[in-house]
Chains A and B, each alone.
Chain A
Amino acid sequence: MAASATPTGEEVQTPAAYEGTTSRRPTTHGRLTPWLFLAPYLTLFTVFVIAPIVYGAWISLHRYDYTLPGKPFVGLDNYLTLLRPGSITFDIFWDSMQATVIFTVTSVPLLLVIPLLVALVMNRSFPGRNVFRAVFFAPYVLGVAVVAVLWRYLLDRNIGLVNYYLDAIGLPGDIAWTTSVPAAWVALVGVTVWWTLGFNAVIYLAGLQDIPRELYESARVDGANGWQQFRHVTLPGLRPVLSFVTMVTIIASVNMFGQSYLMTEGGPGRATRTAIYQIAETGLRNYQMGSASAMSYVLTVFLMLLSLGVFWLFRERKG
């Protein structure tokens, strides 16, 4: 390679010259090359991630309304208000955090387990497999507006089809799916699972297909039954995928907004207003962008702690 690339056309280079080029290489290209490779991504990362993070932190220290000329500096006031029990902002914000926790805690386990079961079934060979794969993935391609409006009507307490059929088969047909809790949470979690399980299932499926068949064969030779194969071959084989899916699902659940915005409008009262919902209302409807930014940072801190927990859970264990 090195020989053919020389412009002089020399066929053979002396070992000394060859060594010379290798030892010079880091000093001539080393410093800049990696940065050049990173530059396109780094530019985007700086402009769309780093800069907004810094700008957001700066906004959270002000009483900030972008349409007004005066944006007085208030120090940590926005944060202190969020942490002072008894204030209205405190109640509203922590209620919305609680709503986020309820949604996350109930939806994440379902979104981890059900897609895995679906993927395990889809990984077998049976007639019409591709159709079933498509059927499970199909809802995911719908936008949140479509999904939410569709289900809002289906789940209506008084004129919805769901209650109609529940009634027809002799079950209680007067459940207020969108206007009472906990029914509203059941509805929101159920719709979210129906809507997004296809995504997780596809990732699982890819992971399952990456597990070498020989492992199953040797497990069978060693006399492992179905459960043992799942426990000792499938699950360890899925670990990298599992940690990715867990992470992405948690983040998506904590960021839930569209479903409750469109299906329940945060109701009944403000029971299903999630943190992101409240941040959007505070910042974009009431133009209290300083307060909304402070809320986002508190939420971010919680999300980071949660992520650390997940990393710790899925860390490579020795032995």
Chain B
Amino acid sequence: MTPRPGDGAEFTGDYTGPAVELAYWNGFTGGDGPFMQELVEQFMAEHENITVVPNTIQWADFYQRVPAAVNAGEGPDVGVMHLDQLATNAARNVIVPVDSIAEGLGLSADDFSEEVWEAGVYEDQRYGIPLDVHSLAMYYNTEHFEEAGITEVPTDEESFMAALDALQEAGYENPFWMPNQWPGHLMYLSLAWQNGAEVYAEDGSAADFASPEALEGAEWQRSIIEEGYSPSDVAIDSQYAAFKNGENSITWDGIWQINDLEESGVPYEIAPVPTIFDEDAIWANSHNFFITKQATEDENKYQAAQVFIGWMSEQSAEWAGSGMIPARQSVRDSGVLDDAPQGVIAEQIETMRFLPPVPGLGGVQAEALEPALSEAILGRSEPATALERASEQATELMEQNLESFGG
């Protein structure tokens, strides 16, 4: 079927028009990069009239560059971004709805966990097609565990603290390093959710980092240091470097570290993050395909972009090799995770929590939550003082965002 102008809304799953080039941007700079490259090459082999030109940019820069580049017409036609950035970019008119692709592919909430599926919707329209989900996980050094005589992987506060004590007795003085920056705030969000806190209002109008439930989480993080399980002043990345060196016995980090840890040779095992409070809940995010408004300016590109995303979404089994968890239930059930390290985490998919689709939330976290939490964990100020102030600041920013995006 030859695409005609105005056809854009229809998704046929096939592209037969003239040869087009698609600019495809993503941030897969780590162990996940080669897997994505392979998928792209496979796609091009199967679609002779579509050339995909990939561009890989660190995630930190990605979200600043994409809006500017798309506005200038020099950006990607398609790309992958995190779930919690979709609303921001939708509100900024950088990306366009992809409801038609979801319909054309027959994708529906049934095949995804509800949280992931719902979080891709902003103002009643879908902006992302989920590729994977990735959450925090607990990595532990199997040799340390053996020496400390820990046979059962800790799953709640009691068993977790018992494990830390056992590790200390076995001579591992600081078994659980508590980072003051990344991923400290992801741990905080997980703990707050486990304790039943609502950190952000659903409508994006306010933040409450200092509710009693959320505060308990931050105080627990601080107590890990005060009780000597963690050294003080754990700087950026050093809890992870220490884990790879065998100095740190347990670390909570993203499942995207799996390939890196495999290569490092450290004897490790992966398990779900223990439930320190009452509810099973863990911070998670998801990689989503998007189409930019730039692609819609050329009917052929727009068609090809939809074909690309549709195809990619169906190949997400191969993506499991990158350490991520395929977003689709059908793919997860196909057995791809049977021998994969992240399989144990995938079983927890129903407990994964995602940030609400509120535009500008990424900036709010970086500007308000992260510095305040850093102060609290370092012991520079009381968690309550730091987080109350941060809540005020975040709420102010969120109100401004609502006003900007509403008008």
- Report how far A153 CA is from B232 CA in the complex, Å: 16
Interface residue? B19 (CB, 8 A): no
A68 interfacial contact with B, CB 8 Å? yes
The answer to whether B92 and A67 touch across the interface, beta carbons within 8 angstroms, is yes
For A273, list chain B residues within 8 Å (CB). Answer: 371
Determine whether the beta carbon of A159 is less than 8 Å from that of B238.
yes
Contact string against A for B residues 237-250, beta-carbon threshold 8 Å, 1 for contact and 0 otherwise: 01001100101000
What size tier do the contact residues of chain B reach? Answer: 35 or more
Q: Which chain B positions have C-beta within 8 A of A63?
A: 404
Interface segment, one of A43-51, A53-61, A108-116, A283-291: A283-291
Quick check: B233 and A158 within 8 Å, CB to CB?
A: yes
Task: Verify if A190 is at the interface (C-beta below 8 Å from B).
Answer: no
**B233 touching A67 by the CB < 8 A rule?**
no
Assembled-state Cα–Cα distance A266/B380 (Å): 14
Judge whether B34 is part of the interface by a CB distance below 8 angstroms.
Answer: no
The complex places the Cα of A179 from the Cα of B375 at a distance, in Å, of 9
- C-alpha spacing A268/B235, complex, angstroms: 9
Docked-complex contact B375 and A152, CB < 8 angstroms = no
Name the contact of A268 in the complex, choosing from B68, B366, B375 (C-beta under 8 A).
B375
Shortest distance between the CB of B27 and any CB in chain A (Å): 16
Contact check, B366 vs A285: say whether CB atoms are below 8 A apart: yes
Q: When the two chains form their complex, are residues A285 and B180 in contact, meaning their CB atoms are under 8 A apart?
A: no
Closest to B406 in A: A70
Bound: A265/B94 CA distance, A: 28
Pick the residue among A70, A180, A267, A281 that contacts B367 (CB under 8 A): A281
Interface residues of B in 49-78 (CB under 8 A from A): 64, 67-68, 71
> Given A67-B92, A178-B235 in contact, is the A265-B241 Cβ separation under 8 Å?
no
Q: Which residue of B lies closest to A273 (CB)?
A: B371
| A157 with B235: CB separation less than 8 A | yes
Contact between B392 and A88, CB atoms less than 8 A apart: yes
Partner among B181, B242, B397 whose Cβ is within 8 Å of the Cβ of A159: B242
Contact with B along A284-317 (1 / 0, CB 8 A): 1111100000000000000000000000000000
Whether A88 touches B393, Cβ cut-off 8 Å, given contacts A268-B374, A269-B371, is yes
Of residues 148 through 167 on chain A, the ones whose CB sits less than 8 Å from some CB of chain B are 152-153, 156-159
Q: Which residues of B contact A285 (CB under 8 A)?
A: 64, 362-363, 366-367
Residues of B close to A288: CB separation below 8 A? 400
- Report if A66 contacts B (CB, 8 A): yes
* Residues of the A chain whose Cβ atoms lie less than 8 Å from the Cβ of B233: 157-158, 176, 179-180
- B residues near A84, Cβ cutoff 8 Å: none
Give CA–CA (A286, B407) in the complex, Å. 17
**Would you give the 0/1 interface string for A261-275, flagging 1 where the beta carbon is closer than 8 Å to chain B?**
000011111100100
| Interface size range of chain A in the complex | 20 to 34
B386 and A158 form a contact (CB under 8 A): no
Given A158-B231, A176-B232, residue A68 in contact with residue B378 (CB < 8 A): no
> Quick one: which of A69, A88, A152, A158 contacts B242, CB cutoff 8 A?
A158
| Inter-subunit contact B374/A67 (CB<8 Å) | no
B92: A residues at CB distance < 8 A: 65, 67-68, 287
- What is the distance, in angstroms, from B257's C-beta to the closest C-beta of chain A? 17
Q: A158 CA to B181 CA in the complex, in Å?
A: 15
Give chain B residues whose Cβ lies under 8 Å from the Cβ of A152: 235-236
- Bound-state CA distance A270–B369 (Å) is 11
CA distance A65 to B92 in the complex (A): 9
- In the assembled complex, the Cα of A55 lies from the Cα of B79 at a distance in Å of 32
Cβ contact within 8 Å between A67 and B71 = yes
Flag if B363 contacts A287 (CB, 8 Å). Answer: yes
CA distance A78 to B407 in the complex (A): 19
B173 to chain A, nearest CB (A): 11
A65 touches B238 (CB 8 A): no
Asked if residues B380 and A269 are in contact (CB atoms below 8 Å), the reply is yes
Most B C-beta atoms less than 10 A away, residue of A152, A158, A281, A282: A158
Are B380's CB and A158's CB within 8 A?
no
Closest to B93 in A: A67
Q: How far is the CA of A13 from the CA of B242 in the complex (A)?
A: 89
B residues within 8 A CB of A67? 67, 71, 92-94
Inter-chain CA distance A267–B360, complex, in Å, is: 22
B405 in the interface, Cβ–Cβ < 8 Å?
Answer: yes
B375 x A159 contact (CB < 8 A): no
Q: How far is the CA of A287 from the CA of B403 in the complex (A)?
A: 13
Q: In the complex, A63 Cα to B360 Cα: how many Å? A: 15
CA distance A270 to B68 in the complex (A): 27
Chain B's nearest CB lies how many Å from the CB of A21? 53
How far is it, in angstroms, between the C-alpha of A118 and the C-alpha of B381 when the chains are bound?
42
Partner of B238, one of A92, A158, A266, A284: A158
Residues of B within 8 A of A281 (CB): 366-367
B397 lies within 8 A of A158 (CB):
no
Cα-based distance from A227 to B374 in the complex (angstroms): 50
Contact with A along B262-275 (1 / 0, CB 8 A): 00000000000000
What are the residues of chain B within 8 A of A72 when measuring CB–CB? 407
- Check if B198 is an interface residue, CB within 8 A of chain A: no
Smallest CB separation, B291 vs chain A (Å) = 17
Q: Given the complex of chains A and B, what is the CA–CA distance between A179 and B237 in angstroms?
A: 12
Residue from the list A68, A179, A265, A270 in contact with B404, Cβ < 8 A: A68
Question: Which residues of A have CB within 8 Å of B392?
Answer: 88
Q: Is the CB of B375 within 8 A of A269?
A: yes
- A178 x B236 contact (CB < 8 A): yes
Q: Does B235 contact A156, Cβ atoms closer than 8 Å?
A: yes
**A286-B371 in contact given A152-B235, A157-B234, A179-B378 (Cβ < 8 Å):** no
Contacts A157-B233, A269-B372 known; list 13 others, CB within 8 Å. Answer: A66-B67, A68-B404, A72-B407, A88-B392, A88-B393, A156-B235, A158-B235, A179-B234, A267-B180, A267-B378, A268-B374, A269-B378, A286-B367
Task: Pick 6 A–B contacts, CB within 8 A, sort by A.
Answer: A72-B407, A157-B235, A159-B241, A267-B378, A268-B380, A288-B400
